[in-house]
């Protein structure tokens, strides 16, 4: 690609990436200049930090994934705030609610989500939200947090209903477009994105999951952000270069610690 794009959400510490140097090289060759790898269990932080130290283009965020909230040792606001001492730590999460697979731990998930919101408010770093089959509770808890103190947020791998998307946008949040938006049966999701402002859209892979065509069904990787960018450009009726420039600017605005530094 002749233009820069960013993968705002991937999982490079997962065991799927046994060939990480090649994965990073392919990402760069595809125009992916920066990646945010997400640590979903804090005991994996040493591995994540080693990856970040090895690759200048990789940043990280950390939190407790909602599907792990019941089994993971409780995390405190202070625990999360302490992570922000590292300048390559750029966001809080992913956190959120998942009632599709783990509805039985809903109350624990809600408590964990509120802790992460408070950490985002205290650090000023963006909150990274996972939402599945929990739209009403998600909108309510995010709004309750915003009523107490403002914070920034991205709805990672957004594939929820339009009401939650609209609520998030009204709070000033961002919607992140993953490979899900490229799937043939995702027209309703593409329509939701098309009604959102372009200056609130991010790109991501959520790799190793959700590979877009022509790689669907195989391992996803950051280089494949380019395929989602092509579909995103069509959704918004702009060129791929314009879509890449817009989503990269949005990333820089939200993830300020990972923003491309432009000389004065």
pLDDT above 90 for 12: yes
Alpha-helix residue ranges (DSSP H) falling in the chain = 20-29, 45-54, 77-83, 106-123, 135-148, 162-170, 187-194, 225-236, 240-254
**Residue 254's pLDDT is what?**
98
**pLDDT single digits (tens) 129-165:** 999 999 999 999 999 999 999 999 999 999 999 999 9
User: What's 211's DSSP letter?
Assistant: P
Cis peptide before 208 (omega within 30 of 0): yes
User: pTM of this prediction?
Assistant: 0.96
- Counting residues of the chain whose pLDDT is more than 70, the rounded percentage is 98
- Residue spans per domain, the chain: 5-258
Please list, in sequence order, all residues whose beta carbon lies within 8 angstroms of the beta carbon of residue 124, skipping any fewer than 6 positions away: 151, 152
What is the fold, at CATH topology level, of the domain defined by 5-258? TIM Barrel (3.20.20)
Q: Is the pLDDT of residue 263 over 60?
A: no
66-114 tens-digit pLDDT: 999 999 988 999 999 999 999 999 999 999 999 999 999 999 999 999 9
Q: Measuring CA to CA, which residue among 227, 229, 209 is closest to residue 218?
A: 209
């Amino acid at each position: 690609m002749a233009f820069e794009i960013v993968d705002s959400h991937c999982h490079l510490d997962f065991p799927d990436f046994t060939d990480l140097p090649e994965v990073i090289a392919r990402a760069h060759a595809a125009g992916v200049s920066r990646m945010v790898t997400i640590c979903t269990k804090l005991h994996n932080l040493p591995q994540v930090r080693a990856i970040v130290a090895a690759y200048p283009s990789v940043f990280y965020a950390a939190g407790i994934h909602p599907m792990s909230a019941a089994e993971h040792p409780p995390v405190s606001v202070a625990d999360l705030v302490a992570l922000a001492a590292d300048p390559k730590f750029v966001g809080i999460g992913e956190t959120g609610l998942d009632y599709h697979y783990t509805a039985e731990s809903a109350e624990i998930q809600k408590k964990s989500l509120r802790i992460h919101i408070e950490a985002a408010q205290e650090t000023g770093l963006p909150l990274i939200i996972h939402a599945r089959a929990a739209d009403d509770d998600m909108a309510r808890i995010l709004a309750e947090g915003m009523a107490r103190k403002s914070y920034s947020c991205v709805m990672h791998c957004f594939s929820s209903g339009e009401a939650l998307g609209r609520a998030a946008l009204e709070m000033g949040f961002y919607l992140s477009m993953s490979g899900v938006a490229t799937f043939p049966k995702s027209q309703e999701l593409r329509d939701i994105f098309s009604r959102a402002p372009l200056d609130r859209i991010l790109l991501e892979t959520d790799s190793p999951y959700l590979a877009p065509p022509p790689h669907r069904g195989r391992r996803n990787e950051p280089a494949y952000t380019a395929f989602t960018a092509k579909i995103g450009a069509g959704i918004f009726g702009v060129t791929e270069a314009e879509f890449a420039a817009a989503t990269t600017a949005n990333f820089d605005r939200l993830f300020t610690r990972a923003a491309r530094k432009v000389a004065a």
